[in-house]
Amino acid sequence: MSTESVAAKASMSASEVRQMIREGSLRVPTTGFAEGFMQANLVILPERHASDFRLFCERNAKSCPLLGIGKPGDPGLPELGSIDIRTDVARYRVYRSGEHTETIANLSDIWRDDLVTFALGCSFSFESAILRAGIDIRHISANRNVAMYATNLPTNPAGPFAGSMVVSMRAFRPADAIQAIILSDRYPLAHGAPVHIGDPADIGIKDIIRPDYGDPPVIEPGDILGFWACGVTPQLALQEAKLDLAITHEPGFMLVTDLPADLAVTPGKETRRN
């Protein structure tokens, strides 16, 4: 991807990205879009399961940092922006009885009055800080979705929700990897520092070139591999819970919020622009 294209994506506002998604003119992964705004993972489920899922998030805050919770039947998330959750994500995954049955671009036809929306922090939100430091993020430069993998790392169960952790992977030159780890650690609401660095086999990943979600990674000789907790983790928990209906984002196709990304920064660890 050209430098101009990367800059154009980054310079868009969150509301501009959502409007394009709502109109159907943007149907690509949102990595690299709307620099400086927080992106969010999405889980929508029936109200009767909401308290258990909230507890699952609290027990697994590294994977599921809570940004906002909607009211039953309300598609808005006013604390995150002027959002209609039925239309403002480019692709949605629909789960019925734990099975991924379809991927759709609009939820209006299946929306119910008992559905509750959870918005969870996303690692795309700390990528802006890494880019500002002059560090290449390979999947953005290659115009790819980030690579994501199911692991053997367990989550802490709550009610019907359980399963293993999903991670996203980014490959860096050694000197860049150190800085990327330090920068991401400042963003606990965007998953913070990696949960693993190094050999993917140590966390149960058999083939790094064949991710479970997203696109194949770009890895160069000598790279250090970093693995971050990922907001796709709840999708495995939803499969385990086998709810009659649950909805998530398609991995990599995030909700772009109006929240400044630096709200995710740990107090006293503010980032500075070069």
One-character DSSP codes across 26-84: --S--TTSSTTEEEEEEEEEEGGGHHHHHHHHHHTTTT--EEEEPPTT----TTT-S--
Cα(75)–Cα(156) distance, integer angstroms: 29
Q: Identify whether 181 is part of a domain.
A: yes
User: Is 173 contained in some domain?
Assistant: yes
Q: Which two tokens stand for residue 169?
A: 């992977």
Number of structural domains (the chain) is 1
DSSP secondary structure code for residue 89 in this structure:
S
Q: What's the pLDDT at 268?
A: 46
In a domain, 267, yes or no: no
Residue 252 has pLDDT above 50, yes or no: yes
pLDDT at 4 over 70: no
Over range 253-268, report the average pLDDT. 80
31 versus 93: the higher-pLDDT residue is 93
Q: Which of 175, 122, 81, 127 is nearest to 271 (CA)?
A: 127
Residue 266 domain-assigned (yes or no): no
* pLDDT band at residue 265 using 50, 70 and 90 as cut-offs: low
Identify the pLDDT of residue 2: 57
Tell me the average pLDDT across 139-144.
92
Q: What is the pLDDT of residues 50-70, one digit of tens each?
A: 999 999 999 999 999 999 999
Report the alpha-carbon angle 201-62-99, nearest 5. 70
Of 261 and 174, more confident = 174
274 within some domain = no
Dump pLDDT digits (tens) for 172-210.
999 999 999 999 999 999 999 999 999 999 999 999 999
pLDDT at 113 over 60: yes
> In which domain, by residue range, is 121 found?
3-261
Q: Is residue 272 situated within a structural domain?
A: no
Average pLDDT of the segment spanning 124-137: 91
Inform me whether the pLDDT recorded for 87 exceeds 90. Answer: yes
Q: What is the mean pLDDT of residues 239-265?
A: 92
149 within 8 A of 167, measured Cβ to Cβ: yes
- Residue 227 falls within a domain, yes or no? yes
Would 270 be classed as within a structural domain?
no
Average pLDDT, the chain: 93
Q: Which of 110, 117, 96 is nearest to 50 (CA)?
A: 117
Q: What is the CATH number of the domain that holds 180?
A: 3.30.2040.10
